[in-house]
Amino acid sequence: MPSSRAVAETLPQLAELAASQFAGRIAIEDGEVSLSYTQLNEARKQAAKAFIALGLEKGDRAAIWAPNIHQWIIAAMGMQSIGVVLVPLVNRLQGAEAADILARSGVKVILTYPELENGSSLDMLAAETLPALEHRILLQGRDDRALVWDDFLARAEEITDQQLQARIDAVKPDDIMDMLFTSGTTGKPKGVLCNHQQNIQVFSIWSETIGLVPEDNYLIINPFFHSFGYKAGWLAAIIRGCKIIPAQAFDREQVMAQIERDKITVMPGVPSMFEMIINDPSRENYDLSSLRVCTTGGAAVPVQLIVEMREKLGFEQVFTAYGLTESTGMVTICRPDDDSELIATTCGRALDGIELKCANPATGEEVPRGEEGEIWVRGYNVMQGYFEMPEATAETITADGWMKTGDIGVMDAAGYLRITDRLKDMYIMNGENVYPAEVEKALYSLDGVAQVAVIGVPKQPQGEVGMAFIVPVAGIAIDEASVKAFCAERLARFKVPFHVRFIEQMPMNAMGKVVKPELKKLASGLMP
């Protein structure tokens, strides 16, 4: 099969190429909906026309706040085909969190879903002030407050093929394709800008490395709002001509039944997902023999898990990888001939054509192999910058193009990377990054909290969960339940601390800062 990356440098070029190369193959199978690559190409052009009819111009932003459904892909491809920037929203966000991102990114159109994890998306946004937001579209369902998906698509009739082609021709490889939001140590989300060419180049190489082929049936459980489900998910599948099978949620028995029914060959996911399937007593009732390729990461991976994924689940290839939103989702990955121990104990080595080093953070000089340093990366995968945050961009990317990841790692002589720590306090729960500063900021507004510090602590199968240490205000009643309830009203569920502990005073250094390593020691003695 010809290499897509040699020809396609923009999303609309990729869609046309896929329609030509894989014409009659099924592109998406979502319940009763089945679209060939030819039909997908026509659907994204119809959506593109409809966005033009709504008045969207090149460089405008449009958000998608919805689970993994085929309309998500069509909408994203439609907007990207005319130079509109995709802004995916995490499904677990509360209304205020979503509104903050929508407002700061100046989103003009939001495409959403009737019910998300925290309730109706339209209800959650009803009281929010969003002056730039002109249109609300429901991808499924019906509500008087939003444009119905079919009615939105009908607007395409207002636009000619010539008008559409002019807009498509105006999209260039270095135009911004998406803006995924990621938090920093300050807890304030930052919009990461990536262009068309780098998205396609990174995941052309990634998909070639793991061996995706047109015959693959790709079950995408990882959410489309995340690089794992979007870029390493449906985008990579389109590059290689795979069949995309979206899953809205992870349910062990439903997933095992789907693997058997749809002959799933590719199924990435976080380690906890595979641990649950392996340990499910009903696993023997299902035929999982079609499984071929898996990529995993986002938490520590035991060597035994890699062995069992191969022996008990039947995967021929298991890959671990490392990436950040700021690196177009990918930095390193293992290779097909790596053994189980190397796969479990490292994140692999840099993608072809990407430079990687463990550096002295103060000087930028590479430390000797085998010694710890901050992970720096340079190459085609480095983001274009943070949206309207030039200072944060300059702090992250050096003048000569090295991106500082904020993670600490060790690289061996062969270039294989092992993550050992984080310069930032971030911890990872079920593959989701949690930034303690954001949780701490929320808790400081709770009556009765004098001081608070949040750390990540190990817990299986999540990988890590949050533990909040609180110094209470004397005379004000506060307990674990009220703390969790307060957080649940303001933060996505994965950010809510799993443990809450009350202490008399925080361990502080001479500069008056909380010494979190001391809290980690304290936590080890408090764990149930």
Provide the CATH number for the domain around residue 71.
Answer: 3.40.50.12780
**Does 217 map to a domain?**
no
468 with 373, same domain?
no
**Does 317 map to a domain?**
yes
Where a domain ends, among 422, 457, 490?
A: 422
CB distance 462 to 456 below 8 Å: no
SS3 of residue 449 by DSSP: strand
Report the run of H or E that residue 20 belongs to, with start and end.
helix 11-21
SS3 of residue 128 by DSSP: coil
| The model's pTM | 0.85
From the list 68, 102, 100, 420, the residue with the least C-alpha distance to 247 is 68
Give the number of other Cβ atoms within 10 Å of residue 165's Cβ.
12
CB distance 298 to 330 below 8 Å: no
Average pLDDT over residues 405-427: 86
Interstrand relation of 217-220 and 243-246 (parallel, antiparallel or unpaired) = parallel
From the list 332, 296, 298, 329, the residue with the least C-alpha distance to 313 is 296
**Does 269 map to a domain?**
yes
Burial of 161 (0-12, 13-18, 19+ CB in 10 A): exposed
- Per the listing, tokens 């897509």 go with 4
Residue 374 has, within 13 A of its CA and on its CB side, a CA count of 15
Tell me the sheet residues that pair with 465: 457
Phi, psi of 260 (to 5 degrees): -70, -45
Residue 96 has, within 13 A of its CA and on its CB side, a CA count of 8
Which residues form the domain of 308?
A: 250-422
Where a domain ends, among 422, 448, 481?
A: 422
What pLDDT is recorded for position 4?
41
288 with 308, same domain?
yes
Average pLDDT over residues 401-415: 94
CATH code of the domain in which 454 resides: 3.30.300.30
What would the pLDDT profile of 157-184 be if each residue is shown by its tens digit?
999 999 999 999 999 999 999 999 985 4
For residue 331, is pLDDT > 90? yes
**Does 234 map to a domain?**
no
Phi, psi of 73 (to 5 degrees): -65, -45
404 with 441, same domain?
no
Q: How far is C-alpha 200 from the chain's CA centre?
A: 16
CB distance 315 to 292 below 8 Å: yes
179 with 42, same domain?
yes
Phi, psi of 519 (to 5 degrees): -65, -35
Sorting pLDDT into bands at 50, 70 and 90, what band is 300?
low
CB distance 33 to 70 below 8 Å: yes
**Average pLDDT over the chain, rounded to whole?**
93
43 with 70, same domain?
yes
Measured between alpha carbons, how far is 303 from 337 in angstroms, rounded to an integer? 16
Tokens describing residue 55: 């008045």
Measured between alpha carbons, how far is 398 from 507 in angstroms, rounded to an integer? 34
Average pLDDT over residues 194-218: 98
What would the pLDDT profile of 491-521 be if each residue is shown by its tens digit?
999 999 999 999 999 997 544 567 888 898 8
The contacts of residue 145 (CB under 8 Å, 6+ apart) are: 122, 126, 136
418 with 431, same domain?
no
Burial of 391 (0-12, 13-18, 19+ CB in 10 A): exposed
Q: How many folded domains does the chain comprise?
A: 3
Print burial letters for 252-286: b (CB count within 10 Å at least 16), e (below 16): eeebbebbeeeebbbbbbbbbbbbbbeeeeebeeb
Taking each helix axis from N to C end, the angle separating 70-80 and 11-21, rounded to the nearest 10 degrees, works out to 120
**Does 205 map to a domain?**
no
What would the pLDDT profile of 136-152 be if each residue is shown by its tens digit?
999 999 999 999 999 99
Where a domain ends, among 401, 422, 443?
A: 422
**Does 218 map to a domain?**
no
CA end-to-end distance (rounded Å), the chain: 54
447 with 474, same domain?
yes
Give the type of residue at 135: H
Report the run of H or E that residue 265 belongs to, with start and end.
none
Taking each helix axis from N to C end, the angle separating 303-311 and 271-278, rounded to the nearest 10 degrees, works out to 50
CB distance 240 to 216 below 8 Å: yes
What would the pLDDT profile of 364-383 be if each residue is shown by its tens digit?
999 999 998 999 999 999 99
442 with 416, same domain?
no
From the list 428, 465, 169, 171, the residue with the least C-alpha distance to 324 is 428
Measured between alpha carbons, how far is 173 from 395 in angstroms, rounded to an integer? 26
Measured between alpha carbons, how far is 107 from 191 in angstroms, rounded to an integer? 12
SS3 of residue 494 by DSSP: helix
What pLDDT is recorded for position 270?
84
What pLDDT is recorded for position 5?
42
Tokens describing residue 506: 């925080």
156 with 268, same domain?
no
